[in-house]
Structures are given as C-alpha cells and as structure tokens.
C-alpha cells in the first residue's frame, strides 16, 4: 500500500516521495504535517463517512483535520463526491447513459460536471473517463480528431441511432414482444428524442413548454446496469464497493436515502433540442449508407457488448473512406 503515487507537478518538478505520505512544512515551520496521498484505505473511508454522517459536509480542509484524516481537503472532497456519498452510482454506463452523454457532450463539450448533473449518480470523473476511454478510442480507430466535424457527425448520425436501436432491442428482449410498460416508455422516450431507429429521423413531439414529453426510462433492464459489489481495487487489496458494501453497512442518516429512486429513472427531458440537430448534415453518411443490411449481422444490435462494438469492420472501412475523401 505504501506506494509512490506522487504525480503531476510533483513529478514534473522532480519531487519524489518514497511513500504515500508527503512531508509538508507548515507556514511557521513549527511543525511538519504528514499528508497521505494515493489510494484511500478502508479505515480512511470509514473515518470520512463517519464524520460526514455526524457533522455533514462542510469546509473540507477543516473537515479533514477534524476527522483525523491526514489528507487534503480536496482529496477528501473528491473521495466523498466520487465514491463514498450514498447516491453515487457504480457499474457500467448503460446504453441510455451513453446516449445521454453523447448528446450532452455534443451540446456542451467537455463540461463534464454539467453533463454529470443530468446523469444522476454519475460523477464528472466517471463520465470523463468514459469519454476518454470509449469515445476517443473510436475517434482514434477512425484516424480522426474527436473534435472534428466528421467524428461528431458520425456520432450523431450513426452511433447514436444505433444506440437507440440497441436500447429498443434490449427492451424488447427483456420484456418479450409484449408491450410492457418498460418497452412502451422506452420507445416513447426515444421517439420523443427524435430517433426512431438507426438511420431514421422522426419529428419531435414537443409539448407546449418545449419539452419533449419528459418520459422517464428505467434503464435497469440492461445487463450492463450491474452494480458492482466487492471487488479488487487497482492495487490488489480487497476493495469494498463504496456503495454496495461500505456505505450500505453504514447506518446513514436519512439524507439521500430516497435518491436511489432517481438514478433508476434518468430523465430525458433535457434532450429537447436533440431532435432538430438530427436533421441530415452535410450528407456524409447518406450516400447509399443503408443501415438495415448491416444490422442483420451486427452484434452491436444483436446484443453483444455495446460499449466496445460501436462499429463493425464495414463501418470503419466505410467511414475511413469518407474521411479520406472529405479531408
């Protein structure tokens, strides 16, 4: 556990620490304060949870001191917000959440915190990591910049409609052919977002307030929506899932208890302007691009791991041709 995790400027500036603690001189040099760095221990987690449970959140620097944590206030805040608070949601990003992220990112760019506000239980850090590892990976595969118009168009007119198809397929698979409430709600929401199926665009059904119905979807039908239980952290020690075990076994005050309801029902109201932007772009992908034949053998729709199979070989080849001719 006592590993060197000094990074960033400390590393760049040549500072090196042989352990997870760092010696900092106080302003008046009367005492040296040891500050821990690196991964949090279970004991530290409990100390932080325990303190906040009794005293609430406050000024993080003083909180860290009062809780007996040899951590910076920033570190405590980050740990709490990203992992320990009871309403943080763990587990894979669901298809609906992926769709939400893509849409909101297309609207706001790297405003991770703002995007996270629309994904209850998800942290900006998690969304940021998702974007970097999943989305940027595909831009890399296509040999184009993630900020390029081509890639953005690809997301909007290929990736996102396919996500919708998979959402619908998953809903249908889970619920059977019957028109269960989940299926109905999902399709309604998707239609209200302006996506009928891959490659198709439907008109929005905005209400008088300009919202698109505000239909809520229960994403829990996807197999990916699994909450992680006990697992190993990246340093080999057994790690308690901050939510499923660590926080569950702790007797929290009533605060936040009812928020679990929220993140089971992402609200797509905010996607009101999604539809108009789905109107055909400059025509990159309308040139004889017929989704249907592809879908028949596309595991992306058939139910594999959506997050890693956004494109099949044909897609990538086709898109690369498009990029080469448009660059």
Partner DNA sequence: AAGGAAACCAACCGCCGTTCC
Partner DNA sequence: TGGAACGGCGGTTGGTTTCCT
Sign of CA dihedral 74, 75, 77, 81: positive
Distance CA 305, CA 224 (A): 8
Distance CA 129, CA 125 (A): 6
Number of residues that bind DNA (CB under 7 A): 53
Binding residues among 133-172 for DNA as defined by CB under 7 A: 133-134, 137, 140
Q: Looking up tokens 């448009």, which residue turns up?
A: 326
Q: Which is nearer to DNA, 111 or 149 (CB)?
A: 111
Q: For 133, phi and psi rounded to 5 degrees?
A: -85, -35
DSSP 8-state assignment for residue 188: H
Query: Which span (5-13, 146-154, 198-206, 315-323) binds DNA, by CB under 7 A?
Result: 5-13
The tokens for 119 are 């994904």
Q: Looking up tokens 């209200």, which residue turns up?
A: 192
Binding residues among 20-39 for DNA as defined by CB under 7 A: 27, 36-39
User: What is the per-residue binding string for DNA in 90-119, x denoting contact by CB under 7 A?
Assistant: --------------------xxxxx-----
Query: Which span (60-68, 146-154, 254-262, 277-285) binds DNA, by CB under 7 A?
Result: 60-68
CB of 235 to DNA, least distance (A): 4
Distance CA 304, CA 154 (A): 21
Query: Which span (202-210, 227-235, 254-262, 284-292) binds DNA, by CB under 7 A?
Result: 227-235
Q: What is the largest CA-CA distance in the chain?
A: 75
Binding residues among 239-268 for DNA as defined by CB under 7 A: none
CA of residue 100 relative to chain centroid, distance? 9
Regarding 8 and contact with DNA (CB under 7 A), the answer is yes
Residues that bind DNA (CB under 7 A): 3-11, 13, 27, 36-40, 58-62, 72-75, 77-79, 82-83, 110-114, 124-126, 128-130, 132-134, 137, 140, 232-236, 307-308
């Amino acid at each position: 556990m006592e590993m060197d995790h000094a990074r960033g400027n400390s590393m760049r500036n040549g500072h090196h620490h042989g352990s997870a603690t760092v010696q900092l001189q106080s302003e008046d040099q009367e005492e040296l304060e040891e500050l821990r760095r690196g991964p949090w221990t279970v004991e530290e987690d409990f100390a932080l949870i325990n303190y906040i449970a009794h005293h609430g959140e406050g000024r993080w620097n003083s909180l860290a001191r009062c809780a007996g944590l040899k951590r910076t206030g920033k570190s405590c805040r980050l740990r709490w917000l990203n992992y320990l608070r009871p309403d943080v949601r763990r587990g894979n990003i669901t298809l609906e959440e992926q769709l939400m992220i893509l849409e909101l990112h297309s609207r706001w760019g790297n405003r991770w915190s703002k995007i996270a506000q629309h994904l209850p239980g998800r942290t900006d850090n998690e969304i940021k990591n998702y974007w970097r590892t999943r989305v940027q990976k595909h831009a890399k595969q296509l040999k184009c910049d993630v900020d390029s118009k081509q890639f953005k168009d690809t997301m909007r007119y290929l990736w996102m409609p396919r996500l919708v198809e998979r959402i619908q397929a998953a809903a249908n698979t889970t619920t059977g052919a019957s028109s269960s409430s989940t299926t109905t709600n999902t399709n309604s929401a998707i239609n209200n977002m302006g996506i009928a199926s891959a490659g198709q665009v439907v008109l929005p059904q905005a209400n008088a307030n300009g919202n698109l119905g505000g239909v809520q979807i229960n994403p829990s039908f996807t197999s990916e929506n699994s909450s992680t239980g006990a697992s190993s952290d990246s340093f080999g020690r057994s790690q308690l899932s901050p939510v499923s075990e660590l926080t569950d076994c702790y007797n929290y005050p009533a605060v936040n208890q009812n928020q679990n309801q929220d993140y089971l029902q992402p609200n797509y109201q905010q996607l009101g302007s999604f539809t108009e932007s789905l109107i055909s772009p400059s025509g990159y992908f309308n040139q004889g691009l017929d989704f249907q034949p592809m879908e028949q053998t596309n595991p992306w729709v058939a139910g594999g791991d959506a997050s890693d199979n956004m494109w099949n070989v044909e897609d990538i080849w086709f898109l690369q041709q498009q990029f080469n001719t448009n660059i």
